[in-house]
Each structure stands twice: as C-alpha cells, then as structure tokens.
Structure 1
Amino acid sequence: MKYSLILSLTMLCLLGCRNEPEQALGTLEWDRVNSRIPASEAILEIAVQEGQRVNAGTLLVQIDDRKIASSYNDLQARQEQAIWQLKELKAGPREEIIAEARARLNAALATMKNSDESYQRQQALFTTNSTSKQKLDNARNTYLNAVGEVNVLSASLDKLLAGSRKEQVEQAKCRVASLQAQLEQMQLIRDEYSIRATRDGVVDSLPFKLGDRPPLNAVVCTLLAGERPWARVYIPEPYRSQMLPGSTFRLKIDGRQQVFSTRLRFISSVASFTPYFALSERDRSRLSYIAELEIMDPEAGKLTAGTPVQLLLE
C-alpha cells in the first residue's frame, strides 16, 4: 500500500512537470493603407462607410477640385494655341499675303523707275547748267530711297516664298510636347482629388466628415488591405536561430478554439530592445526579435486587428 501510494504520487509529479511548448506572444495585424489629401480643400463626398469592403479603384473621398480644374483648362487652351501655331508654321504664309507682298514690290519697282528717270533728267539739265545742284541731289536721294524700298520688299517676298524655317517648326513641336507633358502631369494631380482605393480591403476609418477642410497630406481614409490578417510576434532569443522564413508554425488566437497554421515570412535580424553585444550570455535569452507570420487559413479573414496571439515554439 505504501509503495502504491508513492508510485501514484510520482506519476502525478511527472504528469504535472511535463513541459508545455514555449510560446511567443504578439497580436494580429492588417496591412494598413492610408489615403492622404493632395491639397487643403473641402470634402465634397464620402462615398464609403467604415467597415465596407471595397475593391481597388473604388472612389473613397471626393475633394473640391475647382481650382485645379481651372488651371487644367487654362493649360489645355495654351496647348491648343501652340498646336495651331505649329500648323500655321507648317502651312506657310497665305497666298493672299504673298500676292499683297508682290503687289507692293511691283509698286516700289514702278516708283524706282520713275525716280531713276527723274534723276537722269536732272543730270542732263545739270550738265547744261539748267538746274541747280540741290535739285540734282534731291533726285538722287529719291532714287536711292526707292532702290532701298525695292530691296526690302524683295527680301520680304523671298522670305514669304521660302516658308517657315525648319528650326521654327521644331521649336513649335517642342513647345507642344512640353505643354502636353505639363497637361498629363496636371491630370495626374487632378485625379488625386478623387481619392480611390489602391488595394482591395475594408474601410477601417474615415476621420473627417463631409464639408471638412483637412490640412495638406492629412489621412482621410484608412483601409485594412488583403484577404486576411497576419501575426506580429516577439521571438525569444534562444529560438531566433531556428526561425527560418518559409517554415510553418501553429498559432493560437484569443477567443478561438481552433489552432491556425502560419508561415514565417520575416524575422528581424536586430533585437527589439538592448543590442545583444551589450548583454551577458544569461541576459541575451531575454531578448526578443520581431517576426511576421502569414496566416494560411481562409477563416482568418474575419479576425480583427489587435487580437492577442500565441505562437507555439515546438
């Protein structure tokens, strides 16, 4: 009887002293995507509600874009003007302008001819002392002015007939391309006034209300992105070397009887607190390393961020 009692007590002690798996503690997390306001303008529309699941591209918040729209329209008009100027350069001068220039040149030629004849008469009269030196000089100056006018009008006509220079056309093309690039950039900025979801997810928070004018770069919507959360846990130093990315582990989640299967996707190479080289060998075991684990069970999609978890280090 005595030996039987001793044997029973021994078995109870052994059962009571059986080691449970070490646990690394942490919490559930979701990928948070913050949408920020591009300018301090009023909120005209909030198109979603907190807790609503949205797809990438869904409109979340609409910001007043009248100012940027006005600048966009002005730039668009300047680009249109530059395009027509380029077309004008390529087409060259109109036939009516060329005809007008040719008519002016013909009139100038007629004037030059009359001036030349008058000058010749004055020269003949001057040789016979029938006219004064002043009248001869006046006739000569009139003739020279007519010659100069003919040269100017002839050069102008040649310029019109030659058309636009290649360099002018290329400069006009570059001006159009520059305005097009500015227009595309402004369109991208204008599109940012319609704040849309960049990933599939659930609307977590909308910190501002309709009509508010948030400051520049303020977060106006936060999404919890992805199909399911992931776990962030703190791994004790003795287990750090055994934690290999891609390895699978079991995870307990508070409030759930089910044990979830996880895959390690990242573990920090730096301790979260005091650097390891500043500690003794005994104290190093107290260090923790942040690890991120992907939860593979589809049912995890219903779990909320911040829920405590325990990773079983078996």
Structure 2
Amino acid sequence: MRLAKLRPVLGAAVVLAAFGYAVWRTRLPDVDDGAVRGSGVIEATEVIIAPRISGRLAEVVVNEGDTVKAGDLIARLDTSELDAQVAQLEAAVKVAEARLEAALNGARPEQIEAARAALAQANAAIAGAQAASRTARTGFERTTELRAAHDAATMRVKAAEAQLADAEQALALVRSGARSRQVDQARAAVQQAEVALRKAETDLRRVEGLSRDGAVSDQQRDAATAARDAAAAQLNQAKAALADLEAGARPEELRRAELAVVQAKANLEAARLAERSAAEALSDRLSPRSALDAANTTLQTARAQARAARAQLDLLLAGTRPEEVRAATEQSQQTRETLRLARVQRSHCFLYAPTNGVVKTRMAEPGETVTIGSPVAVLLDSTRPWLRVFIPESRYGLIKIGDRATVTADSFPNRQFEGRVVEIASEAEFTPKNVQSPEERVKLVFGVKIDLRNAGDALKPGMPADAVIAVR
C-alpha cells in the first residue's frame, strides 16, 4: 500500500530529473561527443567612414539601412576651392613646361635660319669683294666700267649710311634698357608675389598651430609648407625678372651692339673711300695700285662682316645657358609636384565604402563642417560576420585557435555555416547578463570569437546562433 502511494511521487521525480538534465544540457557546453557547444549573437565589424581632410560636407548619398558595395560613394566634401587650386596649378604647369621647352630648345628655327642666311650673305660678299679685287687691275682702262663702279660705290655709301643708322639705333635701345612699362609690370609682379608669400606664410603658421593641437594632419601641414615654398620660388623668379630688366642688356649683347656700330662705321668709311676712288678713277683713270687698295679694303670689310655673322650663328646654336635650363627644370618639377599634391587633396573629398556592408549609422548631414577623422557614417562589414560564444572556465583548455566550428541560426534551421576560432579571450569574465540566467551570470567564462567570413550575406548582425566547436 505504501509503495503504491509512492509510485506517483517517484514518477514525478523522474520527470523532473529528466527535465532538469535537458535544461542542464542546453545551458552547459559539453565534450561528450568531442565538441564544445555555445550560443551567442551574430555580430559584424564596424567600419567608420571618416574624411582625411577637413571641409564642408556637400553630400551624403546613403541612409541608414542601405546596402553598399566596396567602392560605392558614401559622401562628398565641397571641392570648389580645391577645383580652383587644381585649375590654377594646371595652368602653372603648362607655363613652366613651356619655359622649360624653350630653354631646352634654345633659339627658334627661324632665328637660326636668319643667322645662317646672314652668314651666307657675308660669304657671298667676300666672294664679290675677291672678284672686285681681281677686276680692279683692269677696271681703270674702261671708262664705262669706271662709271658703273662709281655708281655702285655711291649706292654702297647710301647702304652703309643706312646700316650705320640702324646699328646706332639698336645700340641706343640696348643702352637704354627695358621700357618703363616693362619695369612697372615686373615690379607689380614682385609685389603680387610678396603678397602671395605673406599669405602662404600666414596659412603655414596657422596650420602648424593646428597641427600641434592635433586638429590637422601632417599631410595638410606638408601641403601648406609646399604652398609657402612655391610662393617663395615665385617671388624669387619675379625678383630675378625685375633685376634682369633693371640691369639692362647683358655685357655680351652690349658688346655685340657696339661692335655692330664700329663695323657699320668701318663699312661707311670703306664705302666712302671706294666712292672717292671710283670718282677719281672716272675722272683721271685711277692708277692700278689705288684701285687694288680699294678692292682689298672692301674685301677686309666683307670678311669682318662674315666673322660677325658667324659669331651670331654660334651664339644661337649654343642655346640657353646651363644654369637657366636647370632653373627651368626645377621650376617645372616643383610645379608638377604641387599639382600632384593638390589632386591628392581633392581626391580625399570623396569618401567611398572600403567593403561590402550595410549602413548602420549616418552621423553627419550636408552643410556640416567635418574635421579629420570625424565619423560621417558607420558601416557593418557584411563580408566578415562573426559569432562570439562564452565557454566555461572548465572547457577553456580544450579550444585552440583555428578549431573548426559549425554554426546554426534560428533563421536558417536547415542550414549549417562553417567557421573557425580566430580569437580566445586571455582573461576570464562573468557571463554577460543577456546570455544566461542570474545563476549562470556569476560563473566565470571566456569569450571565443568564431569567424564566419565564408557564410556569404545570409547571416545578419543580431541573429541568435549556436556553435559546435570541434576540439582536437
């Protein structure tokens, strides 16, 4: 009778014991089948989208919850100032390259051809003078030839006078130096370059102060330094141009102009002498010796002209001086580097998604001024989901980095996802409050991170999931 009364109690005890065991099995990982089990929530790596330069936010093209792919535009800073700076530097590069090309190429082909033509003309004059010398021996015997010679001598006198006037005018221009308008323009360019340098130095001091406070990057400070250096180089170039105008012509140019005047005077004197000789020969049949002397003088004059033409041609063929070529090369390189830096700065105005993901938070709006590193948006990297489970202290030694894990999620009950253990906490902690009951939260556990990057885009942050870790 007593046994019959105890049977219902024993049955209830067995049921309660089985239920308790089932609960214990679901809450406590075990290794009876060579695996450790744990539960957790799917998480994803947060990627903060922040600018590398400061500026005004012109556009934010994503909203919270949007799905983006790697390379998609997230936001854009205002580029108007940088656009103008790039355009200005592109024009400066063209000017610098044109100056370098002119320095490398030297004189224009037309100038060289003109110099060669002048030399050929001088050589022809020599040949003519030599022929005149040969015919001078017999010229006095024929009156008609003497009359023609006198007429030709008169024409040469007029030509020599015109040549002397041109040479004296050219010498006066060389001695007078640059026109006042050119000097005024050069001085204005120096003043403008000084203003630009002061502004660049002020900007550099401001950027350096902000850099010491951590408000700007080293790259911005370098950009301000480069701008200051470019302004200084522009000022030096403007000062050199002004000094060149104020200094007037180079000594060799002045000497060449003076030589031209001397040569023109000699030509005129020789022409007048030839004219007098021709007149005398026409009137009283000039002696052969005097005619020969006049022809020799003409020949010497022609040879002097040929030497001057050769010197001019050699000067043009020698090209630009090496120091001018070096200065033009350095200016071109500096301008190109400044342009490259400006283009890099402009590219930083466009913020792109570094990976596939979902926009978790939109943290800034168009019109706001953002600084370096200030978040504009936060992405959840959907290409690398992961699961964190908590393993009791007693199972800590069973798990190793690289252990394979099979993960299932309530949203996909018939699907398994493969993963690997990539991180094991080095310090124990109490079970998080959102994972276990109050009794379980006082136990020490170790967090284990399971990488699920091969799961595709099925698993989403916040999904509950279970993991079975195969222990070795």
Aligned to 2:191: none
Deviation per residue, 1:60-101 (Å, 9 max, x gap): 212111122222222222211111111101210235498596
> 2:370 is paired with a residue of what secondary structure?
coil
Are 2:104 and 1:90 aligned?
yes
Aligned to 1:119: none
Letter in 2 for 1:218: S
C-alpha deviation, 1:29, in angstroms = 1.6
Task: Provide structure 2 residue ranges, at least 5 long, that are not aligned to the other structure.
Answer: 30-36, 116-169, 171-252, 268-309, 431-442
**Distance in 2, Cα, partners of 1:223 & 1:296:** 19
Q: 1:1-314 to 2 correspondence within 5 Å?
A: 2=3, 5=7, 12=15, 13=17, 16-17=20-21, 20=25, 21-22=28-29, 24=38, 26-94=40-108, 95-96=110-111, 104=257, 106-110=259-263, 159-165=315-321, 169=325, 172-227=328-383, 229-251=385-407, 253=409, 260-268=416-424, 270-271=426-427, 286=444, 288-294=446-452, 296-298=454-456, 300-301=458-459, 303=460, 305-307=461-463, 309-312=465-468
> 2:355 is paired with a residue of what secondary structure?
coil
RMSD (Å), alpha carbons: 4.3
**Distance in 1, Cα, partners of 2:390 & 2:262:** 99
Aligned to 1:136: none
Deviation per residue, 1:96-124 (Å, 9 max, x gap): 4985969736515427969xxxxxxxxxx
C-alpha deviation, 1:243, in angstroms = 2.3
The 1:219/1:14 distance shift into structure 2, 3 A limit, reads: closer
Q: Which has the higher helix share?
A: 2
C-alpha deviation, 1:190, in angstroms = 0.7
The 1:16/1:33 distance shift into structure 2, 3 A limit, reads: closer
- Taking structure 2 as the reference length, what is the TM-score of the superposition? 0.46
**Distance in 2, Cα, partners of 1:265 & 1:112:** 101
For the 8 Å contact 2:383–2:457, the answer to whether it is kept is: no
Aligned to 1:278: none
Letter in 2 for 1:216: I
Tell me how many residue pairs correspond in the alignment.
267
**Distance in 2, Cα, partners of 1:46 & 1:9:** 65
The 1:237/1:111 distance shift into structure 2, 3 A limit, reads: farther
Report % sequence identity. 24
Aligned to 1:117: none
> 1:270 is paired with a residue of what secondary structure?
coil
**Distance in 2, Cα, partners of 1:177 & 1:311:** 60
Stretch moving more, 22-31 or 1-10: 1-10
C-alpha deviation, 1:17, in angstroms = 3.5
C-alpha deviation, 1:34, in angstroms = 1.6
Task: Provide structure 1 residue ranges, at least 5 long, that are not aligned to the other structure.
Answer: 115-153, 275-284
**Distance in 1, Cα, partners of 2:392 & 2:320:** 78
Deviation per residue, 1:15-71 (Å, 9 max, x gap): 744651415454322122221123443222222222121222222212111122222
**Distance in 2, Cα, partners of 1:166 & 1:240:** 76
The 1:217/1:161 distance shift into structure 2, 3 A limit, reads: same
**Distance in 2, Cα, partners of 1:188 & 1:156:** 48
- Taking structure 1 as the reference length, what is the TM-score of the superposition? 0.65
Letter in 2 for 1:161: L
C-alpha deviation, 1:299, in angstroms = 6.8
Q: Which has the higher strand share?
A: 1
**Distance in 2, Cα, partners of 1:238 & 1:113:** 117
Letter in 1 for 2:94: E
The 1:49/1:16 distance shift into structure 2, 3 A limit, reads: closer
